[in-house]
């Protein structure tokens, strides 16, 4: 594999890991209502992003 | 090699996230973790596809799995809130709902045996299975 591509993919995954850590830590103090609201919004965005992924 | 290690890091982070105090909150936290894991898997899929590491068939297969997981997760969350609003408490009330979600979102053996597909979905799979575990180990039985 092209080293530039490998670095690019590695950075993407690392970036997602960081986003994930922040998300998990950030959610630990939320109320149930806030968790529902957050997850509802994320799922709606995920549905749109999945459509975009299929359209690629 | 580095990418594989980073992909393994995501499920590990899920396990380190800890368990909330009551089954209701544990269920919702697990659901939110799944939503976040799906979001990460989408972004990684786009990156893999744009660099030619993922073909059309596998990209669409991943999208289909993530779509099913998201639908199951939305249904699960609604059932959890309905149960809570109906006055149900305790892990024994929420465990069947969590198990139903895990069954609904379960990935096929075909997906799990395709390494290039499952590597991207591993964190999502861990998050799904972590829901039942989080509810079972929550306080307030």
Asked whether B42 and B66 are in contact (CB, 8 A), the reply is yes
* Contact criterion met (CB < 8 Å) for B13 and A16: no
The gap between the terminal CA atoms of chain B, to the nearest Å, is 43
Higher pLDDT, B5 or B41: B41
Q: Which residue has the tokens 């898997």?
A: B41
Phi, psi of B105 (to 5 degrees): -95, 5
Per-residue pLDDT reduced to its tens digit, A26-54? 677 899 999 999 999 999 999 999 999 99
Number of domains in chain B: 1
Give A50's contacts in chain B (Cβ within 8 Å): 42, 63, 66-67, 70
Structural domain for B29, as ranges:
22-136
Within-domain flag for B93: yes
As a whole number, mean pLDDT of residues B85-98 equals 95
Which DSSP letter does residue B18 get? -
Which DSSP letter does residue B13 get? H
Domain CATH for B36: 1.20.120
ipTM: 0.84
Return the residue in B24, B42, B72 with the most chain A beta carbons within 10 A, the one to mutate for interface testing.
B42
Q: What's chain B's average pLDDT?
A: 89
Q: Which of the residue ranges A15-24, B8-17, B24-33 would you say has the lowest mean pLDDT? A: B8-17
Per-residue pLDDT reduced to its tens digit, B13-47? 555 555 557 999 999 999 999 999 999 999 999 99
Give B84's contacts in chain A (Cβ within 8 Å): 32
As a whole number, mean pLDDT of residues B134-138 equals 92
Q: Which residue of A has its CA nearest to B50?
A: A56
Q: Which residue of A has its CA nearest to B80?
A: A36
Asked whether A20 and B37 are in contact (CB, 8 A), the reply is yes
Asked whether A45 and B66 are in contact (CB, 8 A), the reply is no
> What token pair was written down for A36?
């529902």
Taking CB atoms within 8 Å and a gap of at least 24, the contacts of A36-43 are: A36/B28, A36/B77, A36/B81, A38/B32, A38/B35, A39/B28, A39/B31, A39/B32, A39/B35, A39/B73, A39/B77, A40/B74, A40/B77, A42/B32, A42/B35, A42/B36, A42/B38, A42/B39, A43/B35, A43/B38, A43/B70, A43/B73, A43/B74
Per-residue pLDDT reduced to its tens digit, B39-74? 999 999 999 999 999 999 999 999 999 999 999 999
Residues 66 through 85 of chain B touching chain A, CB cutoff 8 Å: 66-67, 70, 73-74, 77, 81, 84
Within-domain flag for B84: yes
Out of A19, A32, A40, closest to residue B40 by CB: A19
* Contact criterion met (CB < 8 Å) for A43 and B73: yes
Within-domain flag for B57: yes
CA distance A9 to chain B (A): 7
Pairwise CA distance, residues B125 & B25, whole Å: 20
Pairwise CA distance, residues B72 & A54, whole Å: 19
* pLDDT at B54 (0 to 100): 94
Within-domain flag for B16: no
Q: Which of the residue ranges A2-6, A22-26, A33-37 would you say has the lowest mean pLDDT? A: A22-26
pLDDT bin (cut points 50, 70, 90) of residue B128 is: very high
Within-domain flag for B132: yes
Pairwise CA distance, residues B78 & A39, whole Å: 11
Q: What percent of chain B has pLDDT over 90?
A: 81
């Amino acid at each position: 594999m092209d080293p530039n591509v490998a670095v690019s993919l590695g950075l993407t995954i690392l970036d997602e890991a960081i986003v994930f850590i922040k998300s998990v830590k950030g959610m630990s103090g939320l109320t149930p209502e806030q968790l529902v609201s957050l997850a509802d919004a994320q799922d709606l965005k995920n549905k749109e992003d999945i459509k975009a992924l299929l359209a690629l | 090699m580095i990418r594989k290690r980073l992909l393994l890091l995501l499920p590990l982070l899920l396990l380190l996230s800890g368990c909330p105090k009551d089954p209701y909150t544990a269920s919702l936290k697990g659901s939110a973790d799944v939503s976040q894991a799906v979001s990460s898997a989408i972004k990684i899929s786009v990156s893999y596809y744009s660099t030619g590491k993922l073909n059309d068939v596998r990209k669409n297969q991943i999208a289909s799995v993530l779509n099913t997981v998201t639908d199951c997760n939305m249904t699960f969350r609604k059932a959890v809130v309905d149960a809570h609003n109906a006055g149900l408490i305790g892990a024994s009330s929420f465990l069947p709902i969590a198990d139903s979600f895990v069954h609904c979102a379960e990935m096929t053996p075909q997906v799990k045996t395709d390494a290039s597909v499952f590597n991207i979905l591993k964190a999502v799979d861990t998050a799904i299975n972590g829901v039942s575990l989080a509810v079972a180990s929550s306080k307030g039985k």
